[in-house]
Amino acid sequence: MSRFYTFLICCFLVSPFVEAQVVTTEPVFPQLDDDVTIYFDASKGNGALRDFTGDVYAHTGVITDESTGPTDWQNVIGEWGTADSRTLMTRVGPNRYQLTYNIKDYYDIEDGTEVMEMAFVFRNQTGSIVGRSTDGSDIYTPVYSSSGSLFTTIVSPEDDNLVLAIGSRLSIKAASSLNADLTLTDNGVELVRETGNSLNYVLEVKDQGNHIVEFTAKTGGEESKQQFQYVVPSNAPPEDLPAGVEYGINYISDTEVVLALYAPNKRHVFVLGDFNNWALDVDFQMKKTTDGNAYWFRLENLTPGQQYGFQYFVDGSIRAADPYSTLILDPFNDGFVPEETFPDLPEYPVGASGIISILQTDAPEYDWEIDDFVPAANSELVIYELLMRDFVARHDYQTLLDTLDYLERLGINAIELMPVNEFEGNDSWGYNPSFHMALDKYYGTAEDFKRFIDEAHARGMAVIIDVVYNHAFSQSPLAQLYWDPLGFKPTPENPWLNPDAKHPFNVGYDFNHESEATKFFVKKTLRYWLDEFRIDGFRFDLSKGFSQVDYGDDSGAFAQYDSSRVAILQDYADVVWAENPNAINILEHFAVDEEEVVLADYGMLLWNNSNFMYGQAGMGYENDLSRSDYAEHGFTKPHLVTYMESHDEERLLYRITNFGNESADGSYKTKTPITALRRAELASTFFYTIPGPKMLWQFGEMGYDFSINRCTDGSEDPDCRLSPKPIRWDYLTTSGRRHLFDVTRSLIGLKTTYDVFNTTDYDLWIDDSNKKRIQLNSDDLKVNVLGNFNVEPESIDPAFQQTGRWYEYFTGDSLDVSDVNAMIALAPGEYRLYTTDRLDLPTDFLTSANEVAAARIGLAHYPNPVAEQMAVVYELESSARVRLEVYNLLGQQVSTVFEGQLPAGPQLHTWTADLPEGTYFLRLAVGNAVITSKFMAVD
């Protein structure tokens, strides 16, 4: 009998059984054409709506022959988050609600459709409180096929896998749809025989071992059976873990595995799996260690290379996957993983429920091509942070590998992936982890991930993964093994997780990093990523939370020096470096400088959020970039990973184009898109040239201008912060964005090529003045960077480090300096990078005056070919005199489209193309710059 459903027998309405059910029905065997009453007990299941005083609504649908799985509801009734009268439940008692309807009419079932189950969850009006099954899954109840047929059900006990003690008493209640001869047996021994449509029996448990209890109904030549199983555990003496066995899956040979589970204060644990048809069996009872803290079991006679699913069944009520799983199957989310992303995903086994672990002896090994990769030095790191979901449309490692050409051309030397371990659902940033040692299948296979890392290493790029050890979410076995379903949080006995968070920024369930169990878990999983995937380092999310000091809601105290937190982080770093001495450890910490200095001196890198000030600078408002300098934090080592953007921050171009400043006369507007891109170039020049490691967020090198709060429908709302964002590889076809890309890759190239850009001999004038200067010095090269962040023209003292000839990097111009303090005039947003030796730009940089002008102006026209009217669009970053003309192939001017002074901003001209058929050139002159573009005229 499947325990996926729960039922109500109407004649038991006053029995204790009623209180054990979440959803029950009247009649007990509802059919498609029946009127049915649904009863919901809010005190059962996850208990989320227990003692709720407001209105309760059903959210319901049906599982039909067209459904692809248990989550594929059809004909759903109820609009989420609204007061939908169709699903309003009637309160009939404390925590008891009912709803009555005709099944076929209510769900609008078409003739010929087979309905197998009704599916439910229950909510308050807004949907912020949701009643579900105990394990958080949806609630199902069957719809039976036809009247006059014989059906049976075992009403109580609810579960078909029970663990009972000798001497205990089990109340059994069963029912049939027709009057019949009813019998109940235990391992074939008859317990009771009656005639009717219901049966009650109290079973006294007497013998150890496996027991099958079967309920049979016979009438008119028909027979129907249902059964459940119970096991009475053996009392085998304790036995310690075999030598060399750790918690998790231990591969002993091609045919043998030892499973070990850390589970203090549990009474007994069984292994369920493909190898025993997911049935309780005393032969698969795990041995308990002498200290009572762990359980282990030896699986033998496995088929080499075959994948096996398994779970732990703990204390007769908890089904949990192994916390150290490297591959899991999730029946509620795996159906949405594309076949091309994860080919040959194992089918979810019949008889299992919930998330299961997969083991495989003699698994194929990846043949690594790069054996001894060493990342760039900390000071030279340029890290590209990306979220696969929003970076490549197929969101998989196969496609990500194809972007390595692009990233190599950009010049970055490290890739930081947002969490790739299993997280709840599929559409996520990944900070809701469920299995810290398993790859999330939504991004691809382990082999594909290894191939991606191998190829990145071949191109000189380190791969860093974002890891989340501040918290776990409720699907994690670490939570489920010690879980309070009513409080919906870990119990106080949980050896890994705190029942209540110790700090104000927590999400999910807070790890107790003072616990030896947590330390073992973190260290084992870190070693796994380093050894199995050759990961080059980690970015530790919310590392400031690695403390058991109870800060409550005091964010100020949370940021102060915490010696216990420092010791924990140093301990984890030591484990990482013991596996790979060159590994990169990055902390998202944001504590006081005093604490970060200690961690930096120990060798760790600290995130440095400079988003606000670079945004202010880009927009043309008061700003101070001095905290971008690691020395300003008190660091003696360049261990500060500064960024203008990250996954957590608003995009620079969005801020500039929506909130930017303008000059007093309005002739210069930072909001103008092409000007905003130029402002991003200015900001980048004063970002990459400051010594120390850098990080950029995906597409920032092309000026990504969609808000972090953009919704999928194009609106903006803070609730959409985690929603998918547009993937804009087409930016590369836009000249202005291409120019920003070229500036960015040129600056990255300087940083990763010339030692002077990582010098310790530097002087920064980047505080609250809009005129900024960076001076870098080495024995063989000096650099002087100048910029005007104002929206008005400025003259700046360059304070050149020496007289003589200086070369401007981006234009190739040279300057003979006799007076190092001679003022240099800079237009709004203008930047210059002078060096004492000429440095070459990348060969395909937009270098000509026309190319640069085109990049900044963005001339476009349509349609092409043109028969009648042509639209010409471009953009001016400041007011300018413009002449727009048309020439033929002989160089003769045939038309003047426009001539005159125009303000800054987008421009549009509409022109009637009264021309003979042929090829022509559109010529746009803006100041001294001239841009031409070819078009065809047709009749």
The pLDDT assigned to 2 comes to: 30
> Residue 316 pLDDT more than 60?
yes
The pLDDT assigned to 8 comes to: 27
The pLDDT assigned to 4 comes to: 30
Q: What is the mean pLDDT of the chain?
A: 92
Q: Which two tokens stand for residue 496?
A: 């890994």
> Residue 9 pLDDT more than 50?
no
Q: Can you give the C-alpha Rg of the chain in angstroms?
A: 34
Q: Which two tokens stand for residue 235?
A: 């009392």
Task: Give the tens place of pLDDT for each residue, 227-242.
Answer: 999 999 999 999 999 9
The pLDDT assigned to 7 comes to: 28
- Any idea which of 159-163, 786-790, 920-924 has the lowest mean pLDDT? 159-163
Mean pLDDT of 71-83: 91
Mean pLDDT of 379-388: 98
How many other CB atoms are there within 10 angstroms of residue 476's CB atom? 28
Task: Give the tens place of pLDDT for each residue, 410-430.
Answer: 999 999 999 999 999 999 999
Question: How far apart are alpha carbons 717 and 715 in whole angstroms?
Answer: 7
> Residue 827 pLDDT more than 70?
yes
Concatenated DSSP letters for 816-829? EESSTT--EEE-TT
Question: How far apart are alpha carbons 354 and 819 in whole angstroms?
Answer: 76
Selection from 573, 574, 469 nearest residue 518 by Cα: 469
Local confidence band at 853 (pLDDT 50, 70, 90 cut-offs): low
The pLDDT assigned to 352 comes to: 86
The residue among 71 and 618 whose pLDDT is bigger is 618
Burial of 4 (0-12, 13-18, 19+ CB in 10 A): middle
Question: How far apart are alpha carbons 912 and 418 in whole angstroms?
Answer: 52
The pLDDT assigned to 21 comes to: 67
Q: 307-314 and 356-360 as β-strands: parallel, antiparallel, unpaired?
A: antiparallel
The pLDDT assigned to 315 comes to: 94
The pLDDT assigned to 846 comes to: 61
> Residue 111 pLDDT more than 70?
yes
> Quick one: what percent of the chain has pLDDT higher than 70?
96
Mean pLDDT of 306-313: 97
Give, rounded to a whole angstrom, the gap between the first and last alpha carbons of the chain: 77
Mean pLDDT of 646-675: 95
Question: Virtual CA dihedral for 419, 423, 428, 431, nearest 10 degrees?
Answer: -50
> Residue 18 pLDDT more than 80?
no
Burial of 596 (0-12, 13-18, 19+ CB in 10 A): buried
Cα-based distances in Å from 337 to 341, 343, 394: 7, 9, 11
How many other CB atoms are there within 10 angstroms of residue 193's CB atom? 12
Q: Which residues of 681-714 are buried (b: 16+ CB within 10 A; e: fewer)?
A: bbbbbbbbbbbbbbbbbbbbbbbbbbbbbbeeee
> Residue 246 pLDDT more than 60?
yes
The pLDDT assigned to 851 comes to: 63
The pLDDT assigned to 845 comes to: 79
The pLDDT assigned to 889 comes to: 82
Question: How far apart are alpha carbons 90 and 79 in whole angstroms?
Answer: 18
The pLDDT assigned to 224 comes to: 95
